[in-house]
């Protein structure tokens, strides 16, 4: 069997064997394939699909194309969470230390912003000195001693996925569910996890806007991860408005620290974070009853243990030891802060969430090209949730911008993004479904 024959078999709608897939991914990893061959394979999978066994084999082959981490000395269950991305989704920043405070070890490999969605690494780089690419010894030590570390993907972690994704990105094959599944899971499973929880976002601020599409992706991820030997479940969560009341980098870091101090109780952000935390504790076998597991999560916040873990993680990765106590001293602050005022009386009834994410990019808080430099200080804070009753002149949010021109442009976007109506909108559950 040759890579050409593997492409031909999939092109003709045949199921590939484990050996077929291993052969192709090994050739990919050794740089023996042309971009044309990689693109042909991706398009064949896009058009013909893969069954569950094929997708498991592809995931494992890409996982094993590089280093597979081991945290055998941690002495605690190894777990992680992955989100498909949204606006104001800073859950990872609170969830990892909260889980560590509850007795788990969380080696979290995170990414940068993609499209209109913010990236965990971009947010963490708001912290002076924070090293998103520590050496392996430091990463393992922090996971063992502190309980969590949030860093970026290293070059030797699932390298086959990096090359395959680069070709998918320019051959209109990104949307293939088997390829998405293998891409996400190969990197996560290379972290040596015992269990995993997936947050699949759904709505006008997510990549998936249709509930059936989101359910299909979640089901594929769960089936393949479990098939690969990692206990996994998924939550479908609502992204029809920003999850946090902030969108940006430093502004979301401030939001994170306020959350860890117990200042975000009763928010949609708290609901999602606690639900994911309870799911992680259940999957890891710490507390199978999700109601009791959620109480453990809440206690980790109320006691201050989660906040302490976050501070130790930040310091262990090169950030200031007193970040939590001196947030405003260390985090960058925008030159211009412009309150956005409501133009009418009524209830906030809807928001085009993706536009909020794009407005952050326009302010300089995200990238249109990989070479773009990020302004970590810009974004939105104080975003009011849908259903809020407002009067003309009330503050809907505060814009953080580098100059007045940028602020005024963002103001127009925000005003156009929000709808105000006479009647309150129907409440939507933030956690839609468990798979």
- Decide if 247 contacts 360 (C-beta within 8 A): yes
Catalytic residue among 20, 22, 64, 80: 80
| Phi, psi at 313, each rounded to 5° | -65, -45
Contact 92, 285 (CB under 8 A): no
* 264 tagged catalytic: no
SS3 326: coil
> 105, 183, 237, 406: which is the annotated catalytic residue?
183
168 noted as active-site residue = yes
Whole-angstrom distance, CA of residue 228 vs CA of residue 30 = 24
Q: Which of 112, 116, 123, 168 is catalytic?
A: 168
Gap between the Cα atoms of 227 and 313, Å rounded: 32
Q: Which residue has the tokens 């909020």?
A: 356
Active-site position among 63, 116, 123, 188: 188
CA atoms within 13 A on the CB side of 25: 29
Q: Is 333 a catalytic residue?
A: no
User: Is 81 annotated in the active site?
Assistant: yes
Residue from 59, 83, 353, 406 carrying the catalytic annotation: 83
Instruction: Tell me how far apart the alpha carbons of residues 219 and 45 are, in angstroms, rounded to a whole number.
Output: 18
Say how far apart CA 52 and CA 252 lie, in whole Å: 37
Q: Give residues with Cβ within 8 angstroms of 8, minimum separation 6.
A: none
For residue 82, indicate whether it is catalytic: yes
Quote the crossing angle between the two packed helices 136-145 and 305-316, to the nearest 10°: 160
Active site annotation includes 80: yes
- For residue 123, indicate whether it is catalytic: no
Of 10, 76, 82, 123, the catalytic one is 82
Q: Which of 187, 201, 231, 376 is the catalytic position?
A: 187
CA–CA separation, 304 vs 405, rounded Å?
A: 41
Largest CA distance in the chain: 70
Catalytic site residue from 29, 65, 92, 120: 120
Q: Which residues are catalytic?
A: 80-83, 120, 168, 183, 187-188
């Amino acid at each position: 069997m040759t890579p050409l024959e593997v492409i031909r078999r999939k092109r003709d709608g045949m199921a590939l064997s484990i050996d077929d897939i291993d052969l192709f991914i090994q050739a990919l990893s050794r740089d023996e394939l042309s971009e044309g061959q990689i693109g042909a394979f991706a398009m064949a999978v896009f058009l013909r699909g893969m069954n569950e066994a094929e997708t498991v084999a592809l995931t494992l082959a890409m996982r094993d194309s590089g280093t597979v981490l081991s945290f055998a000395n941690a002495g605690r269950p190894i777990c992680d969470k992955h989100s498909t991305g949204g606006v104001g989704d800073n859950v990872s920043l609170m969830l990892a230390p909260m889980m560590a405070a509850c007795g788990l070890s969380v080696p979290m490999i995170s990414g940068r912003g993609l499209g209109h969605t913010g990236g965990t690494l971009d947010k963490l780089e708001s912290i002076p000195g924070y090293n998103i690419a520590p050496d392996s010894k430091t990463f393992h030590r922090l996971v063992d001693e502190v309980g969590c570390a949030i860093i970026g993907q290293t070059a030797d972690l699932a390298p086959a996925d990096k090359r395959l994704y680069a070709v998918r990105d320019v051959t209109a094959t990104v949307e293939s569910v088997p390829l998405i599944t293998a891409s996400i899971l190969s990197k996560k499973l290379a972290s040596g996890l015992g269990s995993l929880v997936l947050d699949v976002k759904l709505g006008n601020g997510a990549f998936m806007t249709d509930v059936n599409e989101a359910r299909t992706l979640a089901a594929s991820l769960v089936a393949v991860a479990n098939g690969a030997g990692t206990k996994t479940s998924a939550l479908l969560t609502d992204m029809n408005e920003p999850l946090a009341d902030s969108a940006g980098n430093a502004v979301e870091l401030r939001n994170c620290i306020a959350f860890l101090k117990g200042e975000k109780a009763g928010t949609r952000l708290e609901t999602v974070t606690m639900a994911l935390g309870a799911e992680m504790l259940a999957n890891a076998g710490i507390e199978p009853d999700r109601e009791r597991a959620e109480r453990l999560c809440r206690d980790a916040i109320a006691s201050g243990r989660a906040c302490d873990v976050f501070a130790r993680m930040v310091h262990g990765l090169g950030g200031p030891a007193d970040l939590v106590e001196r947030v405003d001293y260390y985090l960058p602050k925008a030159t211009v802060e412009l309150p956005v005022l409501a133009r009418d009386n009524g209830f906030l009834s809807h928001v085009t969430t993706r536009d909020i994410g794009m407005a952050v990019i326009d302010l300089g808080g995200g990238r249109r090209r990989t070479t773009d430099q990020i302004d970590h200080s810009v974004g939105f804070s104080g975003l009011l949730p849908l259903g809020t009753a407002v009067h003309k002149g009330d503050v809907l949010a505060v814009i953080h911008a580098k100059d007045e021109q940028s602020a005024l442009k963002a103001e127009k976007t925000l005003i156009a993004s929000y709808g105000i109506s006479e009647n309150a909108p129907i409440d939507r559950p933030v956690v839609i479904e468990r798979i």
